[in-house]
Amino acid sequence: MDVDAADAAAALPRRARRRGRTTLLIAAALVLGALAGTATGYAVQYHRAPTALPPLAQPQLVSPKALAPDDSTTNKSINANRHHKTDDDLAELLLTAPDGAKVDGRGYESLDIFTADFFEEPDVVLPDLVDTGIRRVASTVWIQGDVGVEVRLLQFNNRSGADDYQASQAAYMPELKYAGNRGVAIPGLAADLGHVWVDSEVRSGVRGGRALARRGDIVMDINYYDARGKASESDVMELAKRQLERL
């Protein structure tokens, strides 16, 4: 992240996450070896001038004749040229847990539960997220052996809101309280749009990792926990790449 980007990120609301209820449940489950309770893209951005498109081969394009709406007409069919798969069920785009994993929740989180579980000051963050245009949060949680994973997809009304969230979250990750290092960029993404961190310290026997990336109006937020204290960048990076491929 360059100096200007760092200054801009520093000016954003911190929205610092905490090791919340879901995190504690996962950590306890990993340490005890059993689930302790119920827990609830690629966006390649090159900083270059746009390249002019070549002229069309034909002067006039033939458009299909417009049809009157009927009982089979849907919002998707009306907006066929503007429809994107992220406009459908966002939860369907979440990573699928590996075979043999214990899945503990998959679907949508209400904003009040998400902010209460994930942030140090939920009463401040909740109205802030609403102001920046958050639409919905889809999440899944699973445990496999000594590893626990939380995956969240946060969709906003526009790229500006998603960019604000991703930048404000990434800004504090190098602090010792969190990852304690600068992490690594996700290949194919600008460094300020996608990053992976693995905690420098093992806490309560668990080493954590996190992946944050923005694609369009969606922010991918993955949290990874390893009770062996052996979490690696490659482990978290692989999850990040797989999730981005689904967006």
Determine which helix (DSSP H) or strand (DSSP E) holds 29, and give its type and residue range. Answer: helix 21-32
* pLDDT of amino acid 21: 54
* pLDDT of amino acid 46: 35
Q: Count each helix (H run) and each strand (E run) in the chain, helices first.
A: 7, 7
Residue 116, SS3? helix
> How far lies 125's CA from each of 61, 140, 223, in Å?
49, 22, 19
How many Cβ atoms are within 10 Å of 80's Cβ, its own excluded?
8
* pLDDT of amino acid 16: 66
* pLDDT of amino acid 105: 87
Both tokens of 122, joined, read 């939920």
What pTM value is reported for the model?
0.72
Determine which helix (DSSP H) or strand (DSSP E) holds 236, and give its type and residue range. Answer: helix 233-246
Write down how long the chain is.
Answer: 247
Diameter over CA atoms, the chain: 69
Both tokens of 1, joined, read 């992240």
* pLDDT of amino acid 32: 60
* pLDDT of amino acid 57: 55
Rounded CA-CA distance 4/214 in Å is 19
- Which residue, 9, 3, 39, is CA-closest to 172? 9
* pLDDT of amino acid 20: 53
Across the chain, which has 247 residues, the per-10-residue mean pLDDT values are 46 53 61 41 37 53 65 62 66 96 93 89 92 96 94 96 95 94 95 95 92 97 94 96 96
Both tokens of 35, joined, read 């689930």
Place of tokens 């004749």: 65
Contact 131, 161 (CB under 8 A): no
Beta-strand pair 184-185/207-215 = unpaired
Rounded CA-CA distance 238/236 in Å is 5
Rounded CA-CA distance 165/171 in Å is 10
* pLDDT of amino acid 103: 93
Cα distance between the two ends of the chain: 24
